[in-house]
């Protein structure tokens, strides 16, 4: 199993904005694209890919199953619909979007249906998103160790989730960081600005490089071509031990997203 370390996110982008963002991302060099059923943009992503001329085999596509489709009789049909919108016969990674405890569908049923989607060849890898330690343990119990490719979680210099990330590393599950820039809040951080100035980099590049150096995958999004290109340069930025220690000290449990009824009890 392998997850690309750098991809482009499409959260909150629909219609032409989504098409343009994905097209620009592909043109400047991205080859991993993250979407979800609830984003309402799978067809836009599919259009952008089709028009790009980039071969499907060169891409890594991720989508996420929405809570309404967690039941055994809904998950696979919903994924087939996603594939139709994306204009492909498989995705590279499919995630359970939120644990949604108490939604009436046992986690076992959902994870078994997700594993079935993989066995049918609809997705090459499977994973989870927004799961805490205990729910990740339960998911592993259903599908077996070494099967869950990633847990996609909110992470930023302000929300470092050390207990959860340590557990995931121990289990061999890749951490995918979303909202690495905390809705742009970290862009105004004076500590990060100082580190950026020292390296001749942008603050966004520093935050992304921090996550990459910790071994996380990142999926930043942007509607601006220049920002998409700039973010990619984070791959070449090497932060030193002092930089990493300063960023470690920015932890403040600064969670931006925790929807009631969907989120777990956070670690």
Q: What is the pLDDT of residues 12-67, one digit of tens each?
A: 999 999 999 999 999 999 999 999 999 999 999 999 999 999 999 999 999 999 99
Cβ-Cβ contacts under 8 Å for 99 (sequence gap 6 or more): 107, 128, 130, 131, 132, 135, 262, 263, 264
Q: What is the pLDDT of residues 79-135, one digit of tens each?
A: 999 999 999 999 999 999 999 998 999 999 999 999 999 999 999 999 999 999 999
Distance of alpha carbon 62 from alpha carbon 49, whole angstroms: 13
Domains in the chain with CATH codes: 8-182+215-221 (3.20.20.100)
User: How high is the pLDDT of residue 198?
Assistant: 98
Q: Which SS3 state, helix, strand or coil, does residue 265 take?
A: coil
Beta strands in 78-169 (DSSP E): 91-96, 123-129, 148-154
| Phi, psi of 156, rounded to the nearest 5 degrees | -155, 175
Task: Please give the model's pTM, rounded to 2 decimal places.
Answer: 0.97
Q: Are 42 and 63 in contact (CB under 8 A)?
A: yes
Residue corresponding to tokens 């777990």: 264
Distance of alpha carbon 264 from alpha carbon 247, whole angstroms: 26
The residues that are catalytic are 39
Distance of alpha carbon 99 from alpha carbon 116, whole angstroms: 18
Q: What is the pLDDT of residues 229-252, one digit of tens each?
A: 999 999 999 999 999 999 999 999
User: How high is the pLDDT of residue 102?
Assistant: 85
Q: What is the pLDDT of residues 99-113, one digit of tens each?
A: 999 899 999 999 999
Check pLDDT > 70 for residue 1. Answer: no
Q: What is the pLDDT of residues 150-170, one digit of tens each?
A: 999 999 999 999 999 999 999
User: How high is the pLDDT of residue 11?
Assistant: 97
| Phi, psi of 87, rounded to the nearest 5 degrees | 60, 45
């Amino acid at each position: 199993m392998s997850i690309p370390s750098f991809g482009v996110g499409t959260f909150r982008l629909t219609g032409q904005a989504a098409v343009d963002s994905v097209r620009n991302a592909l043109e400047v060099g991205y080859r991993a694209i993250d979407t979800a059923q609830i984003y309402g943009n799978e067809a836009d992503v599919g259009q952008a890919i089709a028009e790009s001329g980039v071969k499907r085999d060169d891409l890594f596509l991720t989508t996420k199953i929405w809570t309404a489709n967690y039941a055994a009789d809904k998950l696979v049909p919903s994924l087939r619909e996603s594939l139709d919108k994306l204009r492909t016969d498989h995705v590279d990674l499919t995630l359970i979007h939120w644990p949604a405890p108490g939604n009436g569908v046992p986690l076992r049923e959902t994870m078994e249906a997700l594993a079935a989607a993989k066995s049918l060849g609809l997705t090459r890898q499977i994973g989870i998103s927004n799961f805490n330690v205990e729910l990740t343990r339960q998911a592993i119990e259903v599908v077996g160790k070494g099967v869950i490719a990633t847990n996609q979680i909110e992470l930023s210099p302000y929300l470092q989730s050390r207990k959860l990330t340590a557990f995931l590393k121990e289990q061999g599950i890749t951490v995918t960081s979303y909202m690495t820039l905390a809705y742009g809040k970290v862009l105004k951080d004076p500590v990060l600005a100082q580190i950026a100035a020292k390296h001749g980099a942008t603050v966004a590049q520093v935050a992304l490089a921090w996550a990459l150096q910790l071994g996380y995958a990142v999926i930043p999004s942007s509607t601006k071509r220049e920002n998409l290109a700039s973010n990619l340069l984070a791959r070449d930025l090497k932060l030193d031990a002092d930089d990493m220690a300063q960023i470690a000290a920015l932890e403040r449990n600064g969670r931006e997203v925790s929807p009631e009824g969907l989120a777990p009890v956070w670690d």
